[in-house]
Amino acid sequence: MGCCCDKNCKESKKLTSKELIEMEHHYGAHNYHPLEVVISRAEGVWVWDPEGKKYLDCLSAYSAVNQGHRHPVIIKALKDQADVLTLTSRAFFNDQWPVFAKRLCEYTGKDMVLPMNTGAEAVETAIKLARRWGYEIKKVEKDKAEIIVMRENFHGRTTTIVGFSTDPDAYNNYGPFTPGFVHVDYNDTAAVEKAITKNTVAVLVEPIQGEAGVFVPNDGYLKKLREICTKNNVLLVADEVQTGFGRTGKKFCFMHDDIEPDIIIMGKALGGGVFPVSAVAANKGIMGVFTPGSHGSTFGGNPLGCAVALAALKVLDDEKLADRSAEMGAYFMAKLNELKAKSKKIKQVRGKGLLIGVVMDKDILSAAGEKARKYTTALKERGVLAKETHDWIIRFAPPLVITKADIDWAMGIISEVLG
């Protein structure tokens, strides 16, 4: 006897892309505006739709698939672990979480890690950690703690997090919001220094603002933030959910400025593109403020996720994917800059490693009644999947296993569409 969903499973395989899109529009909440392509199979840097058309993935599920789709080492770890143990909750010990905790501490250089599931959960964990440290270690007056955040930030979608977003799409009609966050401009260290008070417990920053359009700060920005935080006894919190695990050509993006944050927030590629795994890392003097019952997650540290994350880290190391990202990213950006020199539509190419933003000329597009969506749709039609952000920017972030041949193939299409 088959499973109760056999009929539905078989029916889904027969549905066309058009039928699946219409079904989602009918039954699914409309909180996304995807490109009109249905992905039904994937391997490495390539994906296929139900009709068999092949596409080059240049988004990597927003940098969650750094190791490539369905990497065999990661898939084997998933299957092997699923055969023996998937979930215990933290009410009991399991045999995977301690091993993963040790490995992630070695990877980050921190004393302790706390596991969660999604990037937003990891950011929430870091906020709670910074505040608790502020009250118990720094001795900030109760309920007065402040965290400095950057305008145009993106740290997730929880109520607290969207409350300190400056994007109306993220926060509109979700208030009232959690107090205690102070906004300054990104890439402005003087503004950070000016905003610090006796109640400041942390500065929360993305090393590169991804959702804002791959906004890369000036060289030395993080180094100066580190100096300011150290001088004022304030925690520097690096949100590496999107920029971590080789995406920008280093294990973590903060390494480009040769600094060490007090708290590292991780997610996305930590799960190898097959399972949601996130974590926060810090030294004992900070992480030690958490006590039994003060924070938790039913699925955080689950054996299946830990086994997958261990395999994901192994692939990153064994295949030297951070180095590969640096090499392929430089190659890709050079090609895009060659195109920029020929195309009036491209205003700027920016990024690090394989996190790249192509900024379109807003005036030229506006005069023609166009936005970047027209171009990502055209790319999709020709077999390259990328995504627009803020109407004028196209983000290219393929899996780190991409080759020069793949990039050359993509550039033929990108040149045709953007040239």
Give catalytic residues, as residue numbers. Answer: 154, 239, 268
> In whole angstroms, what is the distance from residue 410 CA to residue 341 CA?
18
Residue keyed to tokens 């925690």: 235
Rounded to 5, what percent of the chain is helix, strand, coil? 40, 15, 40
> In whole angstroms, what is the distance from residue 331 CA to residue 191 CA?
35
Question: Which of 233, 218, 173, 237 is CA-nearest to residue 31?
Answer: 173
Rg (CA), the chain: 22
Q: What is the dihedral of CA 341, 343, 344, 345, to 10 degrees?
A: -130
Question: Which of 167, 248, 140, 152 is CA-nearest to residue 205?
Answer: 152
User: What are φ and ψ of residue 192, in 5° steps?
Assistant: -65, -50
Question: Which of 378, 374, 379 is CA-nearest to residue 391?
Answer: 374
DSSP string, 200-241: EEEEEE-SSBTTTTSBPPPTTHHHHHHHHHHHTT-EEEEE-T
Q: In the Cβ-directed half-sphere of 104, how many Cα atoms lie within 13 Å?
A: 33
Peptide bond into 176 cis (omega under 30): yes
